[in-house]
Amino acid sequence: MSISSALQTGVSGLQANSRAVGGISENIANANTVGYRRGFSQMVTTTASGGTGTGVLSVVSVERLDITSSGGLISTSSPTDLAIGGNGFFVVSMRPNETVHTNYMLTRAGSFLPDAEGNLVNAAGYYLAGYPYNLDGNIGTVDRSNFAQMETVNIRDVSLSAAATTEVSVFGNLPSQSTGQATPGAPFAQSSEFFTSLGVSQRIGFTWQPTSTENQWTVEISDHDGNPLGTLTVDFNDSGSLAGSPASYSAVSNVGTPPSSFAFDTATGVATLTLDNGATPQVVEVKLGAPGTFDGITQFSGDFTQSFDRDGSSVGQLIRTEIEEDGTLYGVFDNGQRRPLYEIPVATVANPHGLIEQKGNAYALSGEAGAFVAMKANSASVGTINSFALEAANVDIAQEMTDLIKAQRAFSTNAKVVTTVDEMMDETARLKR
């Protein structure tokens, strides 16, 4: 190697190590940045060689990103702060409801907050994408290998339309000691809320009258105006393994005024009520419990208790959101309903190191990254989604300082090579004198 070649090698060392120092400074500066992925430099030997000889050996710095190493999770107070515990990325877009697929990117920076329109956007200005649920609580069939069916997650313009009640289930206990009295006591009364097609809250009344026959009750069901719809008699088992459960239903009577009506299936314990509360009467099934079962009303010695479970709801406005580990974003409404709104997927690629770094801790897809798949969180090889959490940068300050010392020493040594070669060339030039 000639003196001039040694000078060129020393200069390449200065350039490579200065780039390494630049990368280390970026890591240190971003040590507290959410979702940041540290970069590092690999020193690679290079030469300009011909077919019959070798050129000068030099060094270049090749920049790499440590994309696959996770940072620690930090607890926050915001339900829309999200962190992935495990493999994968959030899918984000440059604009809300982006239609250009090349404007979708991946990120681990989950510091999302709703903007003025209610769209979830992170601190870097990228909008969170997900799959919307329909009103039936289903996503349907989606192609998870592209972005075509994704939408920007929005938590503002969400309301829950009214749903008419179609089914009411009755639970509770009738006091057995109240039956079999020569003079039966007063009836026990209770009512259940139900909703019309317009979301209006109304009530169905139940009156339980003990009879002079032991373990026998007469039930009267009335409509929202207090008008009787029908009556029936229920006898309860008093011994054996089925003691306390309904034994049989009998004496069914429809006393409703048309179009209101009452029907009862003695085999299943289900009453069918037709309620005159609109141009089209509303039909509601009331389940008292099948004979020989304990899934409805029972009779044991003790107190009278009664509760109801029903479907339907009034109009509801969104009051808060909840995000499960599987990425399902639920809306909680002021009418007590809880409904899934979006699935926030976790994206994977075959080769994460093939992703192209973008500003804001985001990464664009490339041919080297391989196949893209947006999977359901907490399934297969992808991680869980943690609400009220953020992922810290995967920067280790101690490691960065160690690398900084090594780079500084290497830079100083290469500088010494350059100054030494300079002195040697000066001495060579003096041979002419």
Within-domain flag for 315:
no
Within-domain flag for 52:
yes
Instruction: State whether 143 and 263 are in the same domain.
Output: no
Instruction: State whether 173 and 284 are in the same domain.
Output: yes
Q: What pLDDT, on a 0 to 100 scale, did the predictor assign at position 263? A: 97
- Mapped onto helix, strand or coil, the DSSP state of residue 210 is strand
pTM of the model: 0.70
Instruction: State whether 86 and 136 are in the same domain.
Output: yes
Instruction: State whether 142 and 177 are in the same domain.
Output: no
Instruction: State whether 16 and 29 are in the same domain.
Output: yes
Element (H, E) at 115: none
Within-domain flag for 335:
no
Number of domains in the chain: 3
Tokens of 240: 């054996």
Instruction: State whether 177 and 256 are in the same domain.
Output: yes
Within-domain flag for 136:
yes
Instruction: State whether 150 and 254 are in the same domain.
Output: no
At a CB cut-off of 8 Å and minimum separation 6, what does 95 contact? Answer: 103, 127
344 contacts 329 by C-beta, under 8 angstroms: yes
Instruction: State whether 9 and 85 are in the same domain.
Output: no
Instruction: State whether 273 and 402 are in the same domain.
Output: no
Within-domain flag for 22:
yes
Instruction: State whether 202 and 274 are in the same domain.
Output: yes
pLDDT in tens, the chain (433 residues): 577 778 888 888 888 888 889 889 988 988 888 888 888 887 888 876 655 556 677 888 888 788 888 888 999 999 999 999 999 999 999 999 999 999 999 999 999 999 999 999 999 999 999 999 987 889 989 999 999 999 999 998 777 778 899 999 999 999 999 999 999 999 999 999 999 999 899 999 999 999 999 999 999 999 999 999 999 999 999 999 999 999 999 999 999 999 999 999 999 999 999 999 999 999 999 999 999 999 999 999 999 999 999 998 888 888 889 999 999 999 998 888 888 999 999 999 999 989 999 998 999 999 999 999 999 999 888 999 999 999 998 888 999 899 899 989 989 998 998 899 888 888 888 886 6
pLDDT > 70: what percent of the chain?
A: 97
> Residue 289 half-sphere exposure, CB side, CA atoms within 13 Å?
23
pLDDT digits (tens, 9 = 90+) for 183-194: 999 999 999 999
Instruction: State whether 177 and 291 are in the same domain.
Output: yes
Instruction: State whether 147 and 174 are in the same domain.
Output: no
Within-domain flag for 74:
no
Q: What is the mean pLDDT of the chain?
A: 91
Q: What pLDDT, on a 0 to 100 scale, did the predictor assign at position 65? A: 82
Estimate the share of the chain in helix, then strand, then coil, as percent rounded to the nearest 5: 15, 40, 45
Q: What pLDDT, on a 0 to 100 scale, did the predictor assign at position 350? A: 92
Q: Which domain holds residue 383?
A: 80-158+345-391
Q: What pLDDT, on a 0 to 100 scale, did the predictor assign at position 430? A: 83
pLDDT digits (tens, 9 = 90+) for 18-74: 888 988 998 898 888 888 888 888 788 887 665 555 667 788 888 878 888 888 899
pLDDT > 90: what percent of the chain?
A: 65
Within-domain flag for 59:
yes
CATH of residue 281's domain is 2.60.98.20
**Residues 71, 73, 79, 82, Cα dihedral to 10°:** 20
pLDDT digits (tens, 9 = 90+) for 384-399: 999 999 999 888 899 9
Return the amino acid letter for 276: D
Strand ranges for 34-119 from DSSP E: 39-47, 57-65, 73-75, 82-85, 90-93, 104-107, 113-114
pLDDT digits (tens, 9 = 90+) for 274-302: 999 999 999 999 999 999 999 999 999 99
Within-domain flag for 328:
no
